[in-house]
Amino acid sequence: MPINQFSRSLPMMLYRTLDTVMPRFRKIFNDFGITEQQGRVLRVLWEQEQVTFKVLSELTLIPAPSLVGIVDRLQSSGLVVRRRSETDRRKVYVSATPKGVEFETEIMPRVASEYVALKQLVDAETWEQVLSGLERINARLNLR
């Protein structure tokens, strides 16, 4: 089977799409004085009351060493807190503070608005096919 031309290869299509889509979301986060990575951390904490550093790293796709600095800055801003497990001192839990939770009501309507704009670029079936296709690729590659 021939390999697609470089510009239509899966990695290049993913990079190009990411470079087109992410500035929209980065702008929202920047308007609130946080980075895109900090926004990813907060998004996870808005969905889950508290998570361990390990789980937070897996869910945000941010390597643990980088995550430490990101959480440090969020904690300095009063948006998150850390708590060491009482039963296993190796585990550190991260959760959003009331100020961090309040950010959700300010940020997420704008994020939702961007999703509406993005979804209007294609029909609903195509949108779902793209997401489902990417999920299948990830699931199958993660089995290896």
What is the distance between the alpha carbons of residues 127 and 125, in angstroms, rounded to a whole number?
5
pLDDT tens digits for 39-71?
999 999 999 989 999 999 999 999 999 999 999
pLDDT tens digits for 1-35?
566 788 888 899 999 999 999 999 999 999 999 99
The pTM of the full predicted model, rounded to 2 decimals, is 0.88
Domains of the chain, first to last: 6-142 (1.10.10.10)
Structure tokens at 82: 């850390």
